[in-house]
Structure 1
Amino acid sequence: MSLKTRGSAAVDKAQRRLALLKSINGNLDLGHGLSIEAYTRLIDNTRATLEAYNTLLSNLDESRKTITEMEETLSELSERMLTGVATVYGRNSMEYSKAGGSTRKRSTSQKSISQVPSVVAVLTTQPTQTTTNGKGSLSNV
């Protein structure tokens, strides 16, 4: 997600106001610090600060992308290092555990299987047999 740079409605409005004030008098000075010169200076300083802010945002966004790429590369190398230790020493070794790998003990015994009763209940009634009576229909015997 890139950071949004910004403009300034206040700077835009002040720039237009400055042009209007200059139409009255290019050296207008209303006293108490209200002069074309002071107004122009503040507009320019605000614009410069806004440009510096937007430049910082751009640099920050670039730095964030660089850090993200570096973290991905570092994570991949970390995984490869652990896999290398597993290849050389084995996944059940002390060295693998020291490198941060988790050893899973493999169970040598089988899980017990639920016992099925060996005696199967026998049906007490026998199903009725059906035969054909020669006419193509079924009947009970």
Structure 2
Amino acid sequence: MSLKTRGSAAVDKAQRRLALLKSINENLDLGHGLSIEAYTRLIDNTRATLEAHNTLLSNLEESRKTITQMDKTLSELSERMLTGVATVYGRNSMEYSKAGGSSRKGSNSQKSISQIPSVVALPTTQPTQTATNGKGRLSNV
């Protein structure tokens, strides 16, 4: 999952507004810090901070990919190391066990399927059959 870089609608809008304000007066100063100079400075600082942010995201994505690849390589080497110990000492050796391998003796993977308990026969009783005798009365058959 890569992190998305971003733009700024506020910077885009401010850039257009700056052009319109400059059409009034290149050195417009409305007092109380409302000047073309202050506005331009804030637009530039915001744009620079946004660019730095996007650069950091790009570097972070590169770093994430590097770590992922290194993890994969390390996992593969770990498996190869354990396999090497198994090749040299055997899978049932103490050395293999010390290296983190699990012995096949007594492991769950080698156990046979557990025996299914025998079914206990329950005595069954035959239901008494009843039928009508033709006159609407019940009689036992």
The TM-score, its normalising length taken from structure 1, stands at 0.75
Cα 1:24–1:128, aligned 2, differ >3 Å: closer, same or farther? closer
Cα 1:138–1:22, aligned 2, differ >3 Å: closer, same or farther? closer
Question: Runs of 5+ in structure 1 lacking a partner?
Answer: none
Contact 2:11 2:47 in 1 (8 A): yes
- What SS does the corresponding residue of 1:109 show, helix, strand or coil? helix
Structure number, greater radius of gyration = 1
Contact 2:104 2:110 in 1 (8 A): no
Question: Once the 2 structures are TM-superposed, how far is the Cα of residue 18 of structure 1 from its aligned partner?
Answer: 0.4
Contact 2:15 2:43 in 1 (8 A): yes
Q: Which moved more, 1:32-41 or 1:111-120?
A: 111-120
Question: Once the 2 structures are TM-superposed, how far is the Cα of residue 3 of structure 1 from its aligned partner?
Answer: 1.2
The equivalent of 1:22 in structure 2 is 22
Alignment of 1:118-129 (within 5 A): none
Cα 1:87–1:139, aligned 2, differ >3 Å: closer, same or farther? farther
- 1:113 & 1:86 partners in 2: Cα distance? 27
- Deviation string, structure 1 residues 58-96 (Cα, Å, up to 9, x no partner): 000000001000000000000000000000001111100
Cα 1:132–1:85, aligned 2, differ >3 Å: closer, same or farther? farther
Cα 1:133–1:67, aligned 2, differ >3 Å: closer, same or farther? same
- Deviation string, structure 1 residues 22-80 (Cα, Å, up to 9, x no partner): 01110000111100000000000000000000000000000000100000000000000
Cα 1:124–1:37, aligned 2, differ >3 Å: closer, same or farther? closer
Identity of matched residues, %: 90
Question: Runs of 5+ in structure 2 lacking a partner?
Answer: none
Contact 2:3 2:57 in 1 (8 A): yes
Q: Which moved more, 1:88-97 or 1:99-108?
A: 99-108
- 2:103 & 2:46 partners in 1: Cα distance? 61
Question: Once the 2 structures are TM-superposed, how far is the Cα of residue 104 of structure 1 from its aligned partner?
Answer: 2.2
- What SS does the corresponding residue of 1:64 show, helix, strand or coil? helix
Q: Which moved more, 1:66-75 or 1:99-108?
A: 99-108
Q: Which moved more, 1:118-127 or 1:8-17?
A: 118-127
Cα 1:62–1:140, aligned 2, differ >3 Å: closer, same or farther? same
Report the RMSD for the aligned CA atoms in angstroms.
Answer: 6.9
